[in-house]
Structure 1
């Protein structure tokens, strides 16, 4: 029997109500990408609204089957360091304390200050939505002036960003600097968490947790899918970015950046900022491939408590719906990780087919946002998962069909340059 995904429960007996997929008028004149994604095309010319909102190219040419990402306007970064030094950088302390070294300090180098200027001037980590989605960096750099652990962590992410936008490989100098700031920032951060938390500690602690999570996601040394999880040889570092989820949740609970007194409150609070799992399965799951409803038991009996796939699947469905009506903020995409069930994460660590299938679809959904810190991991781990599942599903045409959409997205991403050097 070919390997496949086994449903958690038996399907309802004949005669019991089952969820059916909504029918709509079939569009035979739709664009190639809508046909590939199996969504209804509005047939607008020269580009349909679905493709524009999803961030992919649109083609009505006969035989067009390859998905192409729309890259205009993506990754516009300003690396001009000759402009005046921002006031928030000039006020940054020149020396930082070191972890476990009483009295010893680290003196910021010219390179460090250039990285801090770049952090301030570039859209390294847009958080929130709307006009204030880039306020996170300016608020964070001010907090870093009086919280050394946060400044070390800012430098960690800035090193990773600099490597990415310049297309550089991790040489020994960069690797050493990255490891130094990562260790110092994490050690000082953990030391702060071990002490009584004051109100003034909450915002910098949350900012540090957010930056560490992004750094862990961005730090991937693979240069091809064959070197990436789950194809690569197993390592203790596998899914390290995902293993931080529980810790980030704990810090979020302690810091509560959505409280009215938080400087991040205007960024993080607003309509539609979060997409929590639904208590019960509703019509939102109908946007998913029909086979998903059976594979993940997304019926009326499914709840977050009873089904380890429930949270990931219902959040993914809501993200896909939001993407069809316009580019949602990154916070919505990150809800897939933030609300992930620990049981689901364990299945993912075990390379269980269903868990990897959901993650692969999330990668395919988030790739069009072209967020630099997600990009490399998505374009390597996504195809690696696709390769593993392709072998497992080889004798099941229905399951193989589920790989067509993400495979097309990954193929398009492989030919896209996601940064402006």
Structure 2
């Protein structure tokens, strides 16, 4: 059958009015990148949207105003109102005015991106520019700013994200959709019953925004990227990575990987870490002019710590080395298990908290395609290491919900799978029961300091020969 090549008709050339640029516009018009008529004391656009008009930068941008008498504070999610200045003015909807202004700003950005979408061969994405930012969306952004953002990443990262992401989202639709998606995913997690209709509604709404965000994001990355977009690109990548870790279809381990029927999307959450490294190279948040500079210069994902760049074979206990076929001649390149084992080992005396996120994330950041391929094949030693890491994560701080939720559900699924196929006489899971237990207790620390391999080998009764035979069988 001959192939059919469809061509997208070229859109009619759109001519835009030219105007002399001015640097004398008000703060709000500059922020929204629209032409200001420079009217005094208020320009027409600020009067239209009911916002405080400020030319000297003495007032915060995007504050709402009724004759300068009220404003919305996103940090506390409430509005203050005083009509004493103009008592003849009728009450107005503060949230509606704020939402209208944000929607106008996002629409302007989407309009400016339209030509780029056509050039990228994605004219169908025009329809996303018709999406309207509503009062309900403003409430979701408020929940992100006052609650969800504080759960993301390390303590330093979450405070930086709180100061920067919402500000960037107001002028970048792909980031705004990702902010809404992650917050709704958090809403679903916080519902009393994870299988309730409310949780399902939150999750469906989250996936809708996620789908829109990724399509707009991919369209942006497919063409030359303006420098002004780099910070928003990094913020979107960070939220995508967080959401990918958090989202799991079912709270029932029997319906989770590796027990559920195979699906091409299995383990996609692991693949996104490669994308995050690519986003780092594009956005470079460690550059001096970046909003994330103070954070980026301390968290370069492309720079490996010393113990990874120059691993010490003697740090691996002999029985663990035997279990994973690690010899003195091996390196992280020659033995697929070496690097994941080192990463898990470096979390043994730590508890997952906001202060110790990076040591746990390294297991994902440094995961090689070869090790991920072993997981896809359900290699028991690779599964054992992933479960070991899941157990360390599961015991972490409850606020880090985007990490602990998957660890609990898929961790239990891996337990069942390993017990079913590679249980051993005493049961493989006995070792993980001793590694479980929330914060690391004194007995557990002592055991791991003496010889973590002893816990692995003696508690399971799982001989090395058992691993070697039928290593890829299910």
Give the TM-score normalised by the residue count of structure 2.
0.61
Instruction: Indicate yes or no: 2:189 matched with 1:164.
Output: yes
| Offset of residue 201 of structure 1 | 2.1
* Residues 1:405 and 1:202: Cα distance change in structure 2 (over 3 Å): farther
Partner of 2:9: none
The 5-angstrom pairing of residues 17-416 of structure 1 reads: 81-82=77-78, 92-94=102-104, 96=107, 97=110, 100-102=124-126, 104-124=129-149, 126=151, 129-130=154-155, 133-167=158-192, 168=194, 169=196, 173-270=201-298, 276=305, 278-282=308-312, 285-286=315-316, 291-323=319-351, 328-367=355-394, 368-370=396-398, 371-395=400-424, 397=426, 401-406=430-435
Residues 127-147 of structure 1: per-residue CA shift (max 9 Å, x gap): 564556422133111111221
Tell whether the 8 Å contact from 1:128 to 1:329 is kept in structure 2 after alignment: no
Counting helix residues as a fraction of each chain, which structure ranks higher?
2
| Offset of residue 157 of structure 1 | 0.5
Structure 1 distance, partners of 2:397, 2:320, is: 24
Q: CA RMSD in A?
A: 3.5
Structure 2 distance, partners of 1:107, 1:182, is: 16
Structure 1 distance, partners of 2:273, 2:229, is: 21
Tell whether the 8 Å contact from 1:309 to 1:344 is kept in structure 2 after alignment: yes
Structure 2 distance, partners of 1:372, 1:279, is: 31
After alignment, is 195-204 or 178-187 more displaced? Answer: 195-204
* Residues 1:218 and 1:90: Cα distance change in structure 2 (over 3 Å): farther
* Structure with max Cα Rg: 2
Residues 238-291 of structure 1: per-residue CA shift (max 9 Å, x gap): 2121122222221122222223332212123339998646234327845xx764
| Offset of residue 82 of structure 1 | 4.6
Which 5+ residue runs of structure 2 have no aligned equivalent? 1-74, 81-93, 115-122, 440-474
Which 5+ residue runs of structure 1 have no aligned equivalent? 1-78, 411-421
| Offset of residue 200 of structure 1 | 2.0
| Offset of residue 407 of structure 1 | 5.4
* Residues 1:116 and 1:327: Cα distance change in structure 2 (over 3 Å): closer
Tell whether the 8 Å contact from 1:284 to 1:317 is kept in structure 2 after alignment: no
Partner of 1:27: none
**3-state SS in 2 of match to 1:237:** coil
**3-state SS in 1 of match to 2:126:** coil
Partner of 2:51: none
Tell whether the 8 Å contact from 1:393 to 1:400 is kept in structure 2 after alignment: no
Tell whether the 8 Å contact from 1:163 to 1:170 is kept in structure 2 after alignment: no
Question: Runs ≥4 in structure 1, deviation > 6 angstroms?
Answer: 83-91, 271-275
Structure 2 distance, partners of 1:143, 1:334, is: 25
Give the TM-score normalised by the residue count of structure 1.
0.68
**3-state SS in 2 of match to 1:244:** helix
